[in-house]
A and B are shown apart, each in its own frame.
Chain A
Amino acid sequence: MTNVTLSKLTKEFEGKPDPSVDHIDLEIESGKLTALLGPSGCGKTTTMRMIAGLLRPTSGDIKFDGKSIVSIAPERRGAVMVFQNYLLFPYMTIRENVSFGLKMRGVSKTETRQRVGEMLDLVQLPGLEDRMPKQLSGGQQQRVALARALIVQPKVLLLDEPLSNLDAHLRDEMRELIRRLQGELKITTIFVTHDQEEAAVLSDKIALILRGRLQHFGPPEEYFERPASVEIARFFGGVNFIPGAYDGSVIATSIGKFSAPRSSIASGAGVLTIRPEAVEIGGEGANSVPGRVVSHVYAGRYARFLIDVGGIRIEAVSDPKRVSQIADGDSISLRFDPNEIWVLAQPTEGDGVSLGASEGGNGSVASVSGDE
C-alpha cells in the first residue's frame, strides 16, 4: 500500500521549447487504479518513466508514502513499469521472462518455480512456461508482461497503454483481468491511455493531461457530467457548444434562451453544452428550438443527426428507428432538458480552443468511434 505524490513534476527535453511535462501536481491514493489520460504526445509516457526512475525530472519531486524517491535507482524504487510493446526478452522462455525479477532479487529456484506457476495461473496462461515469447499471441504476451511485473509484488504498478495493441475482444478481456487483479492485489496502479472510455471503465480516478499540463483530476463521472472546461468536455466526446450570456439560471444564446440550473460558473460569459444523447429530437415546449436536419448517420445501435439551428450545428444521437421517420432537409424541433445542460466558462483568447459547432460542420456527421 503506497501512495504516490507528484509535486510540480516537470520534464524539459533539449531542443523542445515547451516542457513535455509541465508542473504536474498529483496525489495518487494507495491501492487505487488511476488513469493518466491524454492525446498522443501530451507527456503520459514521460511522466510514467519519471515515476519508474527511468528518466530524471528537470525539476519537481516524486514521493512514495511521503518519501522523495527521485534520487533512488529504478531497481530499488519498487515501482515496476509495463511498456506498451510488452518488451518480453526474446531469447528467454516465458518462465525465464516471468521469473526475471525474482532472479534479480536472488529468490531460490524452488520458490521461483512455484511462484511462476501461480502467476501464470493468475493471468490465465497455465502451462506455457517453456514457450518462447514469439510463439505467443499479442494478448498472451501482454499477459506475460503483466505477470512478470506482478510477480515481484511491486509497491506501484505502472502500465503504459497496456491495451492499445489488442483487438476489441481481447481488450475487454484484459480490462476485466486488470480490474480483477488490481482489486485482489490492491497494488497502487497508474495506467496510461488515450481512450476516455477505457479510462472511465477501468479507473477510480482520471488525471487528464493536455500539452504536458494536468487539466483535471477526479472520478470518471465528473468528466462526463460536469466537465471543468470546454477543452475537457470536447476531449470526452462533447460536440455541442453554444456561447451565450449566463445569469446564474438562464443562458441567452444566439438561438434562444435556455434555462440551465447546472453550471461550472456563477454567471457571465458562458458556453452551453449538452451531450448528443441528451438532445431530444422532436421535443417541444420550453427550452426547445426549431432546426433543419443537415445529414445523418445510421450506426445500428443508434442514429446520429446533424441539425442546423440558426446557423449553429447541433449533433443529436437518437433511437436508430428515427432514421425511417426523419429525412435530411426536414424541419424538426429540438429540446434541451434543463437538467442535461451544463454551462461552462468561455475559453479565453489564446487557449487555442475554438467553439466551432462541431468537426462535422461541412455538412456530414463525423462517424462515432468507440475508441477514439
Chain B
Amino acid sequence: MTMSAQLAAEDDADLVGRSGGRRAVRVSTLRWVVIIGLLAFLIAPIIPLILWSFSFRWTFPNLLPTEYSMRAWEAVASPTNDVLLATWNSTVIAVVVTALSILIGVPAGRALGLYKFPGKRLVELLIVAPIIVPTLAVALGMHTLFIRYGLSNSLIGVIVVHLIPALPYMILVMAGVFANYDSAFESQARSLGANGFKTQRFVTIPAIMPGLVVGSLFTFLISWSEYVLTLLVGGGQVITLPLLLFNFARSGDNAIAGALAVVFIVPGILVLVFTSKHLSSGQAAMGGTGAL
C-alpha cells in the first residue's frame, strides 16, 4: 500500500543522490536557483519597508529617501510604546496556538490518515469547513459564546479563536503524513521492547517530524498574522503586532509602520529558513494535500 509508495519515493531520491557527477550538479544548481528566486521574492518587497523605517523625508519623485533618521526604530524599541508588549503577545499566542494545534491535530490527523471509521467523509468536511467558510462568519457566531464564558477581551479567548483557522491546516498536513505512514513500525518497536511512550518518542515522532514541522510553521504563521479575529475577540484589549501595524499604517506614519512591518516579517523568514530542509523534503508537504 502506501508503504511501498513511500519506499519507491525514497528510491527515487536515492537515484538522484547516487547518480553522481553531472546529474547531481544540475540538480543542486536548480535547487539554488529556486532558493535564490524564492528569497528574492520574499526579500524584495521588504526593501522599501526597510527604507521607510529609516527615512525622515521621502517624497514622490525621489527613488530613495532624501533624509534618514532612527526615529522610527527608537519609537519601536521604546519601552513606553506597545511594540514590545505586542511582540510578546503575538509570540505567546502563536506559540500556544501551535502547541495546541499539535496536541489536537496529531491524533486527529492520525485518525483521519490511518483508520477507516463510519462518518469519516463528514468529519473531513467539517475539518475543511473553517477554511472554506469565511472565518469572520464563524467568529461572529462564536463571539456571543465567548462573551458568555468570559473569553472575550482576553488572551485565552484570542488563542481559542485563532485555533479556528489554524487547526484545520495542522490536521490536514498530519492526515497526509499518516496516510503515508505504516503503523507496523510501532508494532515492531513494541515487540523489540519499547513501551508505549518510548515508541512515540523514538519511532512515531521522528517519522512524522517533517510533517509536524511544516504543520507547525503553517499554524504559527496563521496565528502570527491574524488580524480580524484578534480584534474581534480581543476587543482592542489584546494588542498584537498586526493590530499595531494596522494602526500606524492607517495613521499615515510610514516610517513607524515600515519598522513594525520589518519586525512583523522577521519571524516568518527565520522560521522559513530553519525549516526549509523539511519543506523541500517534499514527502510531508505534498502529503498534506494527498489525503483529502
Contacts and interface: CB of A to CB of B under 8 A. Distances in A.
Nearest to A81: B191
A134 B195 contact: no
B14 A74 contact: no
Contacts of B14: 134-135
A131 B207 CA distance: 18
A189 to B, nearest CB: 14
**In this complex, which of B11, B185, B191 has the most chain A Cβ atoms within 10 angstroms of its Cβ?**
B191
B192 A54 contact: no
Interface in A44-102: 49, 52-54, 73-75, 79-81, 83, 85, 87, 89-91, 100-101
Given A83-B184, A85-B3, A134-B14, A91 B207 contact: yes
A315 B140 CA distance: 81
Contacts of B7: 134
Interface string A23-53: 0000000000000000000000000010011
B207 A87 contact: no
Interface string B109-150: 000000000000000000000000000000000000000000
B188 interface: yes
B190 A53 contact: yes
Interface in A97-125: 100-101, 103-105
B22 to A, nearest CB: 22
Contacts of A135: 14
A81 B187 CA distance: 9
A149 interface: yes
A289 interface: no
Contact of A75 (B3, B10, B185, B193): B193
Nearest to A102: B193
B206 interface: yes
Given A85-B3, A89-B203, A104-B198, A149 B192 contact: yes
A222 to B, nearest CB: 32
Nearest to B191: A81
A156 to B, nearest CB: 11
A22 to B, nearest CB: 23
Interface in A237-268: none
A134 B184 contact: no
B193 A104 contact: yes
A54 B185 contact: no
A2 to B, nearest CB: 16
B249 interface: no
A149 B207 CA distance: 21
B189 A54 contact: no
Q: How large is the interface on B (under 10, 10 to 19, 20 to 34, 35 or more residues)?
A: 20 to 34
Interface in B1-59: 3, 7, 10-11, 14
Interface in B182-213: 182, 184-185, 187-195, 198, 202-203, 206-207
A148 interface: yes
Contacts of B203: 89
Contacts of A103: 202
A152 interface: yes
B284 to A, nearest CB: 13
A282 B30 CA distance: 74
Given A87-B185, A134-B10, A52 B191 contact: yes
Contact of A148 (B11, B187, B192, B194): B192
A32 to B, nearest CB: 21
B213 to A, nearest CB: 14
A87 B188 contact: yes
Nearest to A97: B192
B188 A104 contact: no
Given A89-B185, A89-B203, A104 B191 contact: no
Contact of B194 (A49, A53, A83, A104): A104
A79 B194 CA distance: 13
Nearest to B14: A134
B19 to A, nearest CB: 15
A80 B190 CA distance: 9
B166 to A, nearest CB: 28
Contact of A54 (B182, B187, B202): B187
A152 B190 contact: no
A103 B7 CA distance: 26
Interface in A119-175: 134-135, 148-149, 152
Contacts of B185: 87, 89
Nearest to B198: A104
B190 A75 contact: yes
B196 to A, nearest CB: 8
Given A54-B187, A89-B203, A73 B195 contact: yes
B177 to A, nearest CB: 14
Contacts of B188: 81, 83, 87
A331 to B, nearest CB: 53
Nearest to A74: B190
Given A83-B184, A87-B184, A91-B207, A74 B191 contact: yes
Contact of B192 (A49, A85, A90, A101): A101
Given A74-B187, A104-B195, 9 more contacts: A53-B191, A54-B187, A73-B195, A75-B194, A81-B187, A81-B191, A89-B185, A104-B189, A134-B11
12 contacts: A53-B190, A73-B190, A80-B193, A81-B187, A81-B191, A101-B192, A103-B202, A104-B194, A104-B195, A134-B11, A148-B192, A149-B192
| Interchain residue pairs A-B with the least CB separation, the first 3 | A104-B193, A101-B192, A74-B190
